């Protein structure tokens, strides 16, 4: 039995895990860097221990310090959340070697699905549709041959990637070599692995992911889908569940495909199988995230299921009692990520002290955030400071509720993504569901385009 969980993360996901532990009667141990001493998770956990100085490389990314903290405080499990060490197979293996339960899949599964080339191969063997492409590419001539075979445009991706890093698009042979080298350099810098692979570039697709749960006894289900198409530089900003693009047949086929892959890789815990879906309803596997996602909250609200609690219960060797026939969508949920960044300055991070803070409330509103008035946002970590989720009986109601909530959300002292979210949620194309993965890019281009002078008569009456 798990009695105390060390939460190897920070911010809103650490607070989310603490709440789940409390509701299950499990003690929580928060670890923190010197920069996070005043963070809410540290104040609300049952215990807290400092593991290093501010940079993540000296704290949250130090397996030895996390394991030492677990030993000193008698924690028998580690909850990794997302980011940091959550998909680090070596860390998962070290936890097991030290008699500590890693709350997630096995190290072997993390390693297989974390390598995008191996994951593609596994998906192919499981009968899951994949985008036409290649295995690992190290030779430029081989890469050119593959690109010409599948046809331009192509997308070059880091094999060990994540977070939108190591991704480049090439439109012809000339740009291919340049983008290949750039992707390899970025992959080496971000992941210490320069290996890349190539896929056919699908223009204006939807990014739809299937949430899965699987226990250690071979029982697995999917918990619906999320539409995560609104993203910038492969970083998601607005997500919703369910997707209005999927009909019953497509939803069932994608769910079954996700379960095939889960069974193939012997998955355990909560995970996400991600797909690109073209305008004709063809779907293609792109990757599997072997952890909880930032946007798990929209699935929780749409489906009425506590995913984080199920992570803990599965890790505690409980049977997954939910059956596929029991999974039903009961709400429509939309999430806006609240980031401390300035959209008017190319989304530059905006660390600093929050001088005024007022959260929205009322029926159908959920806030997952670790900040408060007087809190100083450190400069060392990701810029996301919270998530605003609006829940409605249908999409129209969820949109209206989100618009109201964004108007109520006031954060002083720093710049945030709230004004941009307001504009995106109110955009007619978003409201009608005409969205794709390049929607924000096109929206920003249109918003920043020079506007014609209405008083200039020189352009009038021209044919």
Q: Looking at the structure, do residues 234 and 371 belong to the same domain, yes or no? A: yes
Q: Is residue 55 part of a domain?
A: yes
Q: Which helix (H) or strand (E) holds 300?
A: helix 296-303
Active site residue 291: yes
Q: Is residue 32 part of a domain?
A: yes
Strand, helix or coil for residue 62:
coil
Q: How many residues does the chain have?
A: 463
pTM: 0.89
Q: Looking at the structure, do residues 139 and 69 belong to the same domain, yes or no? A: no
Q: Looking at the structure, do residues 21 and 96 belong to the same domain, yes or no? A: yes
- Identify the sign of the CA torsion 368, 373, 374, 380: positive
Q: Looking at the structure, do residues 192 and 95 belong to the same domain, yes or no? A: no
Q: Is residue 109 part of a domain?
A: no
Q: Is residue 111 part of a domain?
A: no
Which of the listed residues 200, 218, 236 is the one where a domain comes to its end? 200
* Number of structural domains found in the chain: 3
Q: 89-97 and 63-72 helices cross at what angle (nearest 10)?
A: 30
* Predicted local confidence at residue 456, as pLDDT: 55
CB-based contact 334:238 (threshold 8 Å): yes
Query: Where residue 47 sits, what CATH number does that domain have?
Result: 3.40.50.20
Domain that holds residue 167: 132-200
Which of the listed residues 200, 223, 240 is the one where a domain comes to its end? 200
Distance CA 60, CA 233 (A): 25
Q: Looking at the structure, do residues 310 and 365 belong to the same domain, yes or no? A: yes
Q: Is residue 461 part of a domain?
A: no
Q: Looking at the structure, do residues 39 and 136 belong to the same domain, yes or no? A: no
| CB contact set of 97 (below 8 Å; sequence gap of 6+) | none
* Predicted local confidence at residue 160, as pLDDT: 80
Q: Looking at the structure, do residues 253 and 185 belong to the same domain, yes or no? A: no
Q: Is residue 118 part of a domain?
A: no
- Identify the sign of the CA torsion 398, 211, 252, 230: positive
* Predicted local confidence at residue 462, as pLDDT: 43
Q: Which position among 232, 251, 291, 313 bears the catalytic label?
A: 291
- HSE, side-chain direction, 13 A CA sphere, residue 287: 22
Q: Looking at the structure, do residues 81 and 192 belong to the same domain, yes or no? A: no
Q: Is residue 81 part of a domain?
A: yes
Q: Can you point out the beta strands (E) in 233-268?
A: 235-241
Q: Is residue 222 part of a domain?
A: yes
* Predicted local confidence at residue 165, as pLDDT: 79
Q: Looking at the structure, do residues 302 and 437 belong to the same domain, yes or no? A: yes
Q: Looking at the structure, do residues 327 and 415 belong to the same domain, yes or no? A: yes
Q: Which helix (H) or strand (E) holds 224?
A: strand 220-232
Please give the average pLDDT of every successive group of 10 residues along the chain, which has 463 residues.
Answer: 97 98 98 97 98 97 98 98 97 98 98 92 96 88 92 91 81 94 91 90 93 98 98 94 97 98 97 95 95 98 98 98 97 98 95 98 98 97 97 98 98 98 97 95 86 54 41
State how far Cα 240 lies from the chain centre: 12
Alpha helices of 316-459 — where are they, by DSSP H? 395-408, 418-426, 428-431, 439-448
Q: Looking at the structure, do residues 416 and 269 belong to the same domain, yes or no? A: yes
* Predicted local confidence at residue 461, as pLDDT: 44
Whether the upstream peptide bond of residue 242 has omega within 30° of 0, thus cis, is: yes
Q: Looking at the structure, do residues 232 and 210 belong to the same domain, yes or no? A: yes
Query: Where residue 182 sits, what CATH number does that domain have?
Result: 3.30.1490.20
Distance CA 117, CA 179 (A): 19
């Amino acid at each position: 039995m798990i009695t105390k969980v060390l939460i190897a993360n920070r911010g809103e996901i650490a607070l989310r895990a603490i709440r789940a532990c409390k509701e299950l009667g499990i003690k929580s141990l928060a670890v923190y860097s010197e920069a996070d001493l005043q963070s809410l998770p540290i104040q609300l956990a049952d215990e807290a221990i400092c593991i290093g100085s501010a940079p993540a490389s000296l704290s949250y990314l130090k397996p030895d310090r996390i394991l030492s903290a677990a030993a000193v405080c008698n924690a028998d499990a580690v909850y990794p959340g997302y980011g940091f060490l959550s998909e680090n197979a070596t860390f998962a293996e070290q936890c097991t070697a030290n008699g500590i339960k890693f709350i997630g899949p096995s190290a072997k599964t993390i390693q297989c699905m974390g390598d995008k080339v191996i994951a593609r191969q596994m998906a192919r063997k499981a009968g899951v549709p994949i985008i036409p492409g290649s295995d690992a590419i190290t030779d430029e001539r081989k890469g050119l041959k593959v690109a010409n075979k599948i046809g331009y445009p192509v997308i070059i991706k880091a094999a060990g990637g994540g977070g939108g890093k190591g991704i480049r698009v090439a439109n012809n042979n000339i740009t291919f070599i340049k983008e290949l080298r750039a992707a390899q350099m970025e992959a080496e810098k971000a992941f210490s692995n320069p290996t890349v692979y190539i896929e056919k570039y699908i223009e204006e697709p939807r990014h739809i992911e299937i949430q899965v749960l699987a226990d250690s006894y071979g029982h697995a289900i999917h918990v619906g889908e999320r539409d995560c198409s609104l993203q910038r530089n492969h970083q998601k900003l607005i997500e919703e569940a369910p997707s209005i693009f999927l009909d019953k047949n497509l939803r069932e086929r994608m769910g079954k495909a996700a379960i095939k892959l889960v069974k193939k890789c012997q998955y355990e815990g909560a995970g996400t199988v991600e797909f690109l879906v073209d305008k004709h309803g063809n779907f293609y596997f792109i990757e599997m995230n072997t952890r909880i996602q930032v946007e798990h909250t929209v699935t929780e609200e749409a489906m009425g299921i506590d995913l984080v609690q199920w992570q803990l219960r599965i890790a505690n060797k409980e049977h997954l009692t939910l059956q596929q026939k029991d999974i039903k969508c009961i709400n429509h949920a939309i999430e806006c990520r609240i980031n401390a960044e300035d959209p008017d300055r190319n989304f530059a991070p905006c660390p600093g002290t929050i001088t005024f803070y007022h959260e929205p409330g009322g029926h159908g509103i959920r806030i997952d955030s670790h900040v408060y008035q007087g809190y100083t946002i450190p400069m060392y970590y990701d810029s996301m400071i919270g998530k605003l989720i609006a829940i409605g009986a249908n999409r129209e109601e969820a949109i209206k509720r989100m618009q109201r909530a964004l108007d109520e959300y006031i954060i002083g002292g720093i710049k945030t993504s709230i004004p941009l979210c307001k504009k995106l949620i109110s955009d007619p194309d978003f409201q009608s569901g005409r969205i794709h993965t390049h929607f924000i890019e096109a929206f920003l281009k249109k918003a920043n385009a020079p506007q014609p002078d209405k008083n200039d008569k020189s352009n009038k009456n021209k044919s």
